Amino acid sequence: MTVTREELAAFADGELTGERAARVAAAVAADPALAGEVEAHRALRARLADHYAPVAAAPVPDRLAALLTRPREAEVVDFAEAKERRETRRTIPRWGWIVGPALAASLALVLLLPGSGGNGAGYADPQLAAVLDSRLVAEQVPGADTRVLLSFRAQGGEFCRVFSGEGGGGIACRDGDGWRLEALGEGSAGAATDYRMAGASDADLLARAQDMAQGPALDAEAEAEAKANGWR
Amino acid sequence: MLDLLPRLRRFAAGLAGNPADGDDLCQMSLERALANRSRWQEGTRLDSWMYRIMRNIWIDEGRAGTRRRQTFVDEEAGARQGGDGAQEAAVELSYVDRAMQKLPPDQREAVLLVMVEGYAYKEAAEIAGCPVGTLNSRLVRGRDALMAMLGETQ
């Protein structure tokens, strides 16, 4: 009669019932090695439970409890608090204001042609450049690999676009020679689901874009106009 | 949901590797849960639903952040060792923490759900989105790896 290690663990965790439990119990009773394994399993379980118990016993930080108790409206209104929350959380987008005007467009998100990292000599390669030249945020096709997150005007006056995709994401600015890559990130996976969320690296890129920008992101109309003028 | 918070924090700290990152994970989970609360079906278990949201975020973040984390591992390890002369308790804690960090995500999750959170295999499998047998074998592999790493530190 053999007892698998999975069965033995299940037995130690009280998962087995009826005949199966009886069979394993008999085997454990007859074999000190098996009994030792059950003992070790339970000892580890107790050790881990003890190890993590202090976290559950500690008072819940206010910032977490507040999420559940504070009226939702207050979060929007209180700027100082919103700022503090941003600073305590890496992954809260730090690019709230820049996306505002582009939001309507980005609801229609998303994806573009299969992208490439486009890192030859600091400029976007022809494929990526074609995407950056032609695609408007509002016009994107679901299911492709690269999406343009938003467009903005940098402090020097150049038009720049934030893009993201499996092949890599980044910020590219249009100068006389083409789309100069200002920043490269990891990009995010290109799943064609109903909704997409900006990944952590997208957030970093958008935060960077916010630093570079001289104003909010272009809305759909301004973006179309910039495209019509060749992004110059 | 307020009553669940201490347990959620514990699970988050176990997944993320330390309480601070755990609380970030916890906050994201709460926000996503609040945003999606209409999806929660009355009559189903709120705790399982919350745990599932949390592990999904953790898995997604892990995929995006692995490279970044690896970059900083050495720096962090150095900082901890050179710290303020951590007490023995902290050293003992870190044995378990370090061992847990070395487990593959699916095994770490299985170990935490069963051995720390006390879920039955069936419930843990539902949270992890895998068959019960798969959960059982992940648990055993994770357990064996932990025992091998922690064996001498009992």
CATH number, position B10: 1.20.140.160
pLDDT score recorded for residue A212: 84
- What does the alpha-carbon distance between residue B9 and residue A55 come to, in Å, rounded to a whole number? 7
Q: Are residues A77 and A115 in the same domain?
A: no
Regarding whether A42 and A75 lie in a shared domain, the answer is no
Domain range enclosing B103: 5-153
Beta carbons within 10 angstroms of residue B1's beta carbon: 15
Mean pLDDT of A207-215: 81
- In chain A, % of residues over pLDDT 70: 66
Count up the domains in chain B and report the number.
1
**Does residue A103 sit in the same domain as residue A124?**
yes
d(CA B88, CA A136): 59
Q: Least CB-CB distance to B121: which of A15, A63, A64?
A: A15
**Distance (Å, rounded) from C-alpha A164 to C-alpha B60?**
16
Domain that includes residue A32, residue range: 5-57
Beta sheet of A146-153, edge-to-edge order: A146-153, A159-165, A169-175, A178-185
Residue B14 with chain A: CB contacts under 8 Å: 52
In three-state secondary structure terms, A165 is strand
A134 and A218 assigned to the same domain: yes
Confidence (pLDDT) at A27: 95
A63 shares a domain with A36: no
| Residue with more model confidence, A161 or B70 | A161
Last residue of a domain, one of A70, A89, A108: A89
Which tops the pLDDT comparison, B151 or A19?
Answer: A19
* pLDDT tens figures, A47-97: 999 999 999 998 988 888 888 875 544 444 444 555 555 555 444 444 445
Q: What is the pLDDT of residue A52?
A: 93
Q: B4 or A108: whose pLDDT is higher?
A: B4
Of the candidate ranges A30-44, A145-159, B81-95, the one whose mean pLDDT is the lowest = B81-95
Q: What is the pLDDT of residues A170-200, one digit of tens each?
A: 889 998 888 888 877 665 444 444 344 445 4
B115 at interface of A, judged by CB pairs closer than 8 A: yes
pTM of the predicted model, to two decimals?
A: 0.54
A104 and A206 assigned to the same domain: yes
Query: What φ, ψ does residue A164 adopt, rounded to 5°?
Result: -150, 145
Is the pLDDT at A103 greater than 60, yes or no?
no
pLDDT at A218: 84
Residue A201 and residue A124 in one domain = yes
Return the pLDDT at B144.
Answer: 95
Cα separation, B7 vs A223, whole angstroms: 47
Q: Give the residue from A41, A64, A92 with the most B CB atoms within 10 Å of its CB, the best one to mutate.
A: A64
Q: Are residues A139 and A45 in the same domain?
A: no
Mean pLDDT, chain A, as a whole number?
Answer: 74
Is B113 within 8 Å of chain A by CB? no
Whether A118 and A213 map to the same domain: the answer is yes
Choice between A212 and B87, residue whose per-residue pLDDT is larger: A212
Residue ranges in chain B modelled with pLDDT below 70 = 63-93, 152-154
> Do A219 and A118 belong to one domain?
yes
Pair (A115, A180) in one structural domain: yes
> Can you tell me the ipTM of this complex?
0.82
Residue of B115, B136, B152 to mutate, interface with A, max A Cβ within 10 Å? B115
- The answer to whether the Cβ–Cβ distance between B27 and A200 falls below 8 Å is no
Q: How many domains does chain A have?
A: 3
A47 shares its domain with A118:
no
